A and B are shown apart, each in its own frame.
Chain A
Amino acid sequence: DIQMTQSPSSLSLSVGDRVTITCRASQNVVSFVNWYQQKPGKGPNLLIYSASTLHSGVPSRFSGSGSGTDFTLTISSLQPEDFATYYCQQGFITPYTFGQGTRLQTK
């Protein structure tokens, strides 16, 4: 199975901060990486697909980059509604594996 390793596992942040979350795949997944946001008690919401394409309706402060094994999710200026947990996921080969999550907390 392809392992997706996210870092960091958590961050303490303030509104307006720039946030960078990284995800490393254990083997080449080309650009088949997606990013999701999840809030407590809810299902995940798609943010970015194919490494860098912003999903419809997602604010432009979210962006993704990377290819091969290293990927990044960036939030340019953190907003109050962005405090949540973020997951990467590879869609290159079954089983479609997820990272362990990065939790953004208020400082």
Chain B
Amino acid sequence: EVQLLESGGGLVQPGGSLRLSCAASGFTFNKYAMSWVRQTPAKGLEWVSTITISVTNTFYADSVKGRFTVSRDNSKNTLFLQMNSLRADDTAVYYCARRVTGDIVFDIWGQGTMVAVSS
């Protein structure tokens, strides 16, 4: 079964850091670009970041650029999101998603991990 499983969410103080992981299974991980998308009741779904297959290119939303870093370990079928200088408006459910080859289409999503930034 094709599956993505996020972990690493939790409660963190403003200015703190958190590292999210996404374990992939059921497909050849190193053949797909991967993305992070977050969701809040107020702002809905918001694309956060994408990393290409070979880690050659990474892309970020302006709201997280310079604070978040996406990476992947193809040998471990795992996607990461390092989040630094966290702010209250980073509070969200974070999803990892598989990107269809050649198009900006997210065909497989995880169940999400909650990140809460609060003092």
Chain A residues at the B interface, C-beta cutoff of 8 Å? 32, 34, 36, 41-46, 49-50, 55, 87, 89, 91-92, 94-101
Chain B residues at the A interface, C-beta cutoff of 8 Å? 4, 44-47, 59, 61-62, 95, 97, 100, 103-112
- Residues on the A chain within 8 Å of B111, using CB: 41-43
Verify B110–A91 contact, CB threshold 8 A. Answer: no
Number of A-B contacts (CB under 8 A): 56
* Contacting residue for B100 out of A41, A43, A49, CB 8 A: A49
Interface centre among B45, B103, B109, by most A CB within 10 Å? B45
Verify A98–B44 contact, CB threshold 8 A. Answer: yes
Shortest distance from the beta carbon of B48 to any chain A beta carbon, whole Å: 9
Q: How far is the CA of A92 from the CA of B108 in the complex (A)?
A: 19
- Residues on the B chain within 8 Å of A101, using CB: 44-45
Shortest distance from the beta carbon of B71 to any chain A beta carbon, whole Å: 19
Verify B103–A49 contact, CB threshold 8 A. Answer: yes
11 A-B pairs whose Cβ atoms sit less than 8 Å apart in the complex: A34-B106, A42-B111, A43-B95, A44-B45, A46-B105, A46-B108, A49-B100, A49-B105, A95-B62, A96-B104, A99-B44
